[in-house]
Structure 1
Amino acid sequence: MQLQASWSRYTKVTAICLLMIAAMDPGVRLAGAAPAGGGTGKAPAPSAAAAVPDTAFGATASPETGGSTVALTSSPPGTRQRTVTFAQLGQTNGLRLRGTEGAGDVNFGVRLDQTVASALLRLRYTYSPALIPNLSQLKVYLNEELIAALPFSKQDGGKNLVQEIPLDPRLLSGFNRVRLVFIGHYTMECEDPMHSSLWMDVSPQSEIVTSTQPLPLRNDLATLPTPFFDRHDNRDQSVPFVFGAPPSPAVVHAAGVVATWAGAIGDYRRTRFPVSVNTLPSKHAIVFATNDTLPQGLNLAKVDAPTLRMMTNPNDSSLKLLVVQGRDAKDLETAVLALVSGRAALSGETTRIDALEPLPPRPAYDAPRWVRTDRPVTFGELVDNPSDLQANGYMPWPIRIQLNLPADLLTWQNAGVPMDLKYRYTPPVKTDDSSMSVTINDQFVRAYRLRPAGASTDKSHTLVELLADGTTADRREVRIPAFQVAARNALSFQFAMEPHKEGMCSQTITNAAHSAIDADSTIDFSALPHYAEMPNLSFFVGSGFPFTKYADLAQTAIVMSKTPDTAELETAFSALGQFGRSTGTYADRFEVLDTTQTDRFKDRDLLVIGGKDAADLLVKWGKNLPLIIDKTRRVLTTQPQSYRGDGAMGSAFAASRVGPARMDALSQGPLAALVGFESPVSPSRSVVAINASSDDTLLSVVDAIDDSTRREAIHGDLAVVNGERVESYRLGQTYFVGDVSWWTRIRYHLSSHPILVGLVALLAAFAIALKCFGWLQRRASRRLEQ
Structure 2
Amino acid sequence: MQLRASWSRYKKISAIWLLAVAAMDLAGSGFAVAAPTTGRPGKAPMPSGTVAAPGAASGATASPDPSGTTAALVPAPPGTRQRTLTFAQLGQTDGLRLRGTEGSSEVNFGIRLDQTVASALLRLRYTYSPALIPDLSQLKIFLNEELIATLPFTKQDGGKPLVRDIALDPRLLSGFNRVRLVLIGHYSMECEDATHSSLWADISPQSEIVTSTQPLTLRNDLATLPAPFFDRHDNRDQSIPFVFGAPPSLAVVHAAGVVATWAGAIGDYRRTRFPVSVKTLPSKHAIVFVTNDTMLPGLDLPKVDAPTLRMMSNPDDPSLKLLVVQGRDAKDLETAALALVSGRAALSGDAMRIDALTPMPPRVAYDAPRWVRTDRPVKFGELVDNPNDLQASGYMPWPIRLRLNLPADLLTWQNTGVPMDLKYRYTPPVKPDDSSMSVSINDKFVRAYRLRAAGESQDKSHMLVELLSDGTMADRKEVRIPAFQVASRNSLSFQFAMEPHKDGMCSQTIAHAARSAIDADSTIDFSGLPHYAEMPNLSFFVGSGFPFTKYADLAQTAIVMSKTPDTAELETVFSTLGRFGRSTGVYADRFEVLDTTQTDRFKDRDLLMVGGRDVADLLVKWGKNLPLIIDQTRRVMTGQPQASRGDGAMGSALAASPVGPAHMDAVSQGPLAALVGFESPVSRSRSVVAINASSDDALLGVVDAIDDNARRAEIHGDLAVFSGARAESFRLGQTYFVGDVSWWTRIRYHLSSHPILVGLVALLAAFAIALKCFGWLQRRAARRLEP
Normalising by structure 1, what TM-score? 0.92
| Structure 1 CA distance for aligned equivalents of residues 785 and 89 of structure 2 | 91
Secondary structure of residue in 2 paired with 1:696: helix
- Could you say if the C-alpha distance between residues 724 and 459 of structure 1 is closer, same or farther in structure 2, counting changes exceeding 3 Å? farther
C-alpha deviation, 1:188, in angstroms: 1.0
- Could you say if the C-alpha distance between residues 407 and 461 of structure 1 is closer, same or farther in structure 2, counting changes exceeding 3 Å? farther
Correspondent of 1:34 among 20, 31, 47: 47
User: Do 1:121 and 1:166's aligned partners in 2 also have CA atoms closer than 8 Å?
Assistant: yes
Secondary structure of residue in 2 paired with 1:155: coil
User: Partner letter of residue 687 of structure 2?
Assistant: S
| Structure 2 CA distance for aligned equivalents of residues 592 and 720 of structure 1 | 25
After the TM superposition, which residues 21-100 of structure 1 pair with which residues of structure 2 at under 5 Å, given as runs?
Answer: 32-36=45-49, 65=65, 69=70, 71-100=72-101
Secondary structure of residue in 2 paired with 1:777: helix
User: Partner letter of residue 165 of structure 1?
Assistant: I
| Structure 1 CA distance for aligned equivalents of residues 63 and 595 of structure 2 | 56
User: Partner letter of residue 680 of structure 2?
Assistant: S
C-alpha deviation, 1:680, in angstroms: 0.7
| Structure 2 CA distance for aligned equivalents of residues 455 and 71 of structure 1 | 58
Equivalent residue number for residue 710 of structure 2? 709
Equivalent residue number for residue 643 of structure 1? 644
C-alpha deviation, 1:636, in angstroms: 1.0
| Structure 2 CA distance for aligned equivalents of residues 283 and 456 of structure 1 | 64
Deviations 1:693-721 (A, max 9, x none): 11231000000001101001101111111
**2:667 matched to 1:666?**
yes
- Could you say if the C-alpha distance between residues 27 and 589 of structure 1 is closer, same or farther in structure 2, counting changes exceeding 3 Å? farther
User: Do 2:34 and 2:50's aligned partners in 1 also have CA atoms closer than 8 Å?
Assistant: no
| Structure 2 CA distance for aligned equivalents of residues 780 and 188 of structure 1 | 100
Equivalent residue number for residue 656 of structure 1? 657
Equivalent residue number for residue 555 of structure 1? 556
- Could you say if the C-alpha distance between residues 368 and 32 of structure 1 is closer, same or farther in structure 2, counting changes exceeding 3 Å? farther
| Structure 2 CA distance for aligned equivalents of residues 461 and 539 of structure 1 | 52
User: Do 1:27 and 1:166's aligned partners in 2 also have CA atoms closer than 8 Å?
Assistant: no
User: Partner letter of residue 471 of structure 2?
Assistant: G
- Could you say if the C-alpha distance between residues 265 and 29 of structure 1 is closer, same or farther in structure 2, counting changes exceeding 3 Å? farther
After the TM superposition, which residues 325-364 of structure 1 pair with which residues of structure 2 at under 5 Å, given as runs?
Answer: 325-364=326-365
C-alpha deviation, 1:767, in angstroms: 1.3
Equivalent residue number for residue 206 of structure 1? 207
User: Partner letter of residue 577 of structure 2?
Assistant: L
| Structure 2 CA distance for aligned equivalents of residues 473 and 779 of structure 1 | 67
Secondary structure of residue in 1 paired with 2:156: helix
| Structure 2 CA distance for aligned equivalents of residues 61 and 680 of structure 1 | 68
User: Partner letter of residue 575 of structure 2?
Assistant: S
- Could you say if the C-alpha distance between residues 621 and 459 of structure 1 is closer, same or farther in structure 2, counting changes exceeding 3 Å? farther
**2:572 matched to 1:571?**
yes
| Structure 2 CA distance for aligned equivalents of residues 138 and 240 of structure 1 | 44
What is the RMSD computed on CA atoms of the aligned residues? 2.2
- Could you say if the C-alpha distance between residues 592 and 138 of structure 1 is closer, same or farther in structure 2, counting changes exceeding 3 Å? same
User: Percent of aligned positions with the same letter in both sequences?
Assistant: 84
User: Do 1:557 and 1:607's aligned partners in 2 also have CA atoms closer than 8 Å?
Assistant: yes
Equivalent residue number for residue 249 of structure 1? 250
User: Do 1:440 and 1:485's aligned partners in 2 also have CA atoms closer than 8 Å?
Assistant: yes
| Structure 1 CA distance for aligned equivalents of residues 464 and 204 of structure 2 | 41
User: Do 2:638 and 2:662's aligned partners in 1 also have CA atoms closer than 8 Å?
Assistant: yes
**2:776 matched to 1:763?**
no
Equivalent residue number for residue 20 of structure 2? none
- Could you say if the C-alpha distance between residues 461 and 363 of structure 1 is closer, same or farther in structure 2, counting changes exceeding 3 Å? farther
Equivalent residue number for residue 24 of structure 2? none
C-alpha deviation, 1:69, in angstroms: 4.9
Deviations 1:116-157 (A, max 9, x none): 000000000111111111111100000000000001111111
| Structure 2 CA distance for aligned equivalents of residues 510 and 468 of structure 1 | 22
User: Do 2:537 and 2:652's aligned partners in 1 also have CA atoms closer than 8 Å?
Assistant: yes
C-alpha deviation, 1:433, in angstroms: 1.1
Q: Paired residues, what number? A: 743
Equivalent residue number for residue 17 of structure 1? none
C-alpha deviation, 1:463, in angstroms: 8.4
**Which residues of structure 2 form unaligned runs of 5+?**
1-29, 36-43, 53-59
User: Partner letter of residue 34 of structure 1?
Assistant: P
After the TM superposition, which residues 389-468 of structure 1 pair with which residues of structure 2 at under 5 Å, given as runs?
Answer: 389-457=390-458, 465=466, 468=469
After the TM superposition, which residues 91-490 of structure 1 pair with which residues of structure 2 at under 5 Å, given as runs?
Answer: 91-457=92-458, 465=466, 468-490=469-491
| Structure 1 CA distance for aligned equivalents of residues 461 and 765 of structure 2 | 43
C-alpha deviation, 1:511, in angstroms: 1.1
Deviations 1:227-272 (A, max 9, x none): 0000000000000000000000000000000000000000000000
Secondary structure of residue in 1 paired with 2:697: coil
More divergent stretch after superposition (306-315 vs 68-77)? 68-77
- Could you say if the C-alpha distance between residues 679 and 450 of structure 1 is closer, same or farther in structure 2, counting changes exceeding 3 Å? same
| Structure 1 CA distance for aligned equivalents of residues 172 and 62 of structure 2 | 25
Secondary structure of residue in 1 paired with 2:569: helix
User: Partner letter of residue 704 of structure 2?
Assistant: D
**2:744 matched to 1:754?**
no
C-alpha deviation, 1:165, in angstroms: 0.4
| Structure 1 CA distance for aligned equivalents of residues 765 and 518 of structure 2 | 53
Secondary structure of residue in 2 paired with 1:704: helix
User: Do 1:556 and 1:591's aligned partners in 2 also have CA atoms closer than 8 Å?
Assistant: yes
- Could you say if the C-alpha distance between residues 27 and 328 of structure 1 is closer, same or farther in structure 2, counting changes exceeding 3 Å? farther
User: Partner letter of residue 750 of structure 2?
Assistant: H
Secondary structure of residue in 2 paired with 1:156: coil
Equivalent residue number for residue 515 of structure 1? 516
Equivalent residue number for residue 526 of structure 1? 527
C-alpha deviation, 1:451, in angstroms: 1.2
C-alpha deviation, 1:454, in angstroms: 3.1
User: Do 1:304 and 1:327's aligned partners in 2 also have CA atoms closer than 8 Å?
Assistant: yes
Normalising by structure 2, what TM-score? 0.92
More divergent stretch after superposition (502-511 vs 575-584)? 502-511
C-alpha deviation, 1:771, in angstroms: 1.9
| Structure 1 CA distance for aligned equivalents of residues 64 and 335 of structure 2 | 55
User: Do 1:610 and 1:690's aligned partners in 2 also have CA atoms closer than 8 Å?
Assistant: yes
User: Do 1:463 and 1:475's aligned partners in 2 also have CA atoms closer than 8 Å?
Assistant: no
Deviations 1:308-336 (A, max 9, x none): 00000001010000000001111111111
- Could you say if the C-alpha distance between residues 141 and 61 of structure 1 is closer, same or farther in structure 2, counting changes exceeding 3 Å? closer
- Could you say if the C-alpha distance between residues 81 and 71 of structure 1 is closer, same or farther in structure 2, counting changes exceeding 3 Å? closer
C-alpha deviation, 1:359, in angstroms: 0.3
C-alpha deviation, 1:26, in angstroms: 11
**Which residues of structure 1 form unaligned runs of 5+?**
1-24, 40-59
User: Do 2:541 and 2:547's aligned partners in 1 also have CA atoms closer than 8 Å?
Assistant: yes
Secondary structure of residue in 2 paired with 1:538: helix
User: Do 2:50 and 2:64's aligned partners in 1 also have CA atoms closer than 8 Å?
Assistant: no
User: Do 2:49 and 2:157's aligned partners in 1 also have CA atoms closer than 8 Å?
Assistant: no
User: Do 2:49 and 2:154's aligned partners in 1 also have CA atoms closer than 8 Å?
Assistant: no
User: Do 2:50 and 2:61's aligned partners in 1 also have CA atoms closer than 8 Å?
Assistant: no
Deviations 1:49-86 (A, max 9, x none): xxxxxxxxxxx999784789565444443210000000
